[in-house]
Amino acid sequence: MSYLSPLLNRHGAVQAGGLDAGVAAHYGDPNREQRLLAGYLGKPATAVVDLSHRGVVTVTGPDRLSWLNTLSSQSLTNLAPNVGTELLLLSVQGRIEFDARVVDDGTSTWLIVETDEAEPLAAWLNSMKFMLRVEIADVSADWAVLGSVAEVPEWDSLLVWTDPWPHIGAGGWSYAAVEEDRHPGLERPWHEYLVPSAELTATVGDRPLAGAWAAEALRIAAWRPRRGAETDDKTIPHELDLLRTAVHMAKGCYKGQETVARVHNLGHPPRRLVFLQLDGSQHTIPAPGSDVFAGDRKVGVVTSVAQHCEMGPIALALVKRTVDPDAELTVDDAGESYVAAQELIVATDAGQVVGRATGFLRTPR
């Protein structure tokens, strides 16, 4: 049976589809919800987002962090309690298979993932246990997630994952075409609180709710990639600028590391993530999966799209690395065309670090 959040009983709730099926797309006024969530109404952000459809996997035992360190792209051995980070589990070819938000409470490591990741992630981790002192559990049915831009003082007792994006983590690299202090992600701090499922409604109380549409608009504006949206079966971390938060370039061996190092040091990612400002004169927006054209040539695909309360229709897209960054693009959705101005996220010369005397690639200060 598919999950349905109890918060769908709220007045005006309209259920979302796709990755956010089971929670509300909005509660009747998506524009106002987005402004409340972001703090655009001249007062602090107050709204929270129901993310109770997210998957939650726990790893307990004294070997949990060192064990996860050997499997993933992130350095976790010395991860301090209550510090949020991100890890990727890759294929041998370096392609993204799992993308987990990570926070440790001192006794357990919590992995917050997309709905469809939880069960296969728990199964794969269990298959990798061998003789180590770790226990893995899919606790998605027992725990819910609530998201917010602002920290919620009343929820101080809850475990919270704070998104490291867009700050460049230890061992990370920026593939973005802008400096860290000018990154639009700085305008969207993000926190995800873990709440016992039975206490979800009581925890929210009378706090205003924003739907998934509002959260997605802010995520897209922050250039923040999402597994299942910006990823496909060929995606490598470099294409999405995920080396800044999810990959430690100086850690030991893990599956997929050879590809990560080879592309970073000697090659270029074949595709790059780009932000699109869409023509707002139409009454519709294109659907994710719509083709992106430069002239008559198909050069990519739209991965996420939203109506932003200040910028209008916006999108993320994956395009070929060689696409001229100054070219005006066109998005085609079943014959409906949308003019799109592109803004670089991943720079066109990303990668090939070895032999560079200088370059835009930046390690942490």
Tell me the pLDDT tens digit for each residue of 193-247: 999 999 999 999 999 999 999 999 999 999 999 999 999 999 999 999 999 999 9
pLDDT at 364: 42
Which residues touch 232 (CB under 8 Å, ≥6 apart)?
none
Q: Is the pLDDT of residue 289 over 70?
A: yes
Tokens standing for residue 178: 């802008």
Q: What is the greatest pairwise CA distance in the chain?
A: 61
* Residue 61 Ramachandran class (φ > 0 left, ψ -120 to 50 alpha, else beta): left
pLDDT band at 177 (very low <50, low <70, confident <90, very high): confident
Nearest to 197 by CA among 145, 255, 262: 145
| pLDDT tens digits for range 30-62 | 999 999 999 987 778 889 999 999 999 999 999
pLDDT at 252: 82
pLDDT at 358: 46
| pLDDT tens digits for range 53-88 | 999 999 999 999 999 999 999 999 999 999 999 999
Q: What is the mean pLDDT of residues 14-41?
A: 96
pLDDT at 356: 59
Backbone phi and psi for residue 276, each to the nearest 5 degrees, phi listed first: -115, 130
CB 331 within 8 A of CB 337: yes
Q: What is the pTM of this model?
A: 0.95
Q: What is the mean pLDDT of residues 275-300?
A: 95
Amino acid identity of 361? Answer: L
Backbone phi and psi for residue 204, each to the nearest 5 degrees, phi listed first: -65, -40
pLDDT band at 365 (very low <50, low <70, confident <90, very high): very low
HSE, CB side, 13 Å, CA atoms: give it for residue 314.
Answer: 19
Q: What is the mean pLDDT of residues 113-142?
A: 96
Give the span between the Cα atoms of 147 and 160, in whole angstroms.
9
Q: Residue 335 gets which letter from DSSP?
A: T
pLDDT at 363: 46
Percent of the chain with pLDDT over 70: 97
Q: Domains (ranges, CATH) in the chain?
A: 6-51+143-221 (no CATH), 55-108+118-139+232-264 (3.30.70.1400), 270-344 (2.40.30.110)
Mean pLDDT of the chain: 95
pLDDT band at 1 (very low <50, low <70, confident <90, very high): low
pLDDT at 232: 97
Backbone phi and psi for residue 32, each to the nearest 5 degrees, phi listed first: -65, -40
266 SS3 class: helix
Q: What is the mean pLDDT of residues 151-173?
A: 97
pLDDT at 346: 97
Q: What is the mean pLDDT of residues 264-285?
A: 94
9 SS3 class: helix
pLDDT band at 355 (very low <50, low <70, confident <90, very high): low
Tokens standing for residue 204: 């929210």
Radius of gyration of the chain (CA): 20
The residue that leads in pLDDT, 357 or 292, is 292
Q: Residue 34 gets which letter from DSSP?
A: H
pLDDT at 6: 98
Q: Is the pLDDT of residue 318 over 50?
A: yes
118 SS3 class: helix
280 SS3 class: coil
Q: What is the arrangement of strands in the sheet containing 135-138, beginning at the earlier edge strand? A: 85-90, 96-104, 108-113, 55-60, 135-138
Per-residue DSSP letters for 167-223?
SPPTT--B-BSS-GGG-GGGG---EEEEEEGGGHHHHHTT--EE-HHHHHHHHHHTT
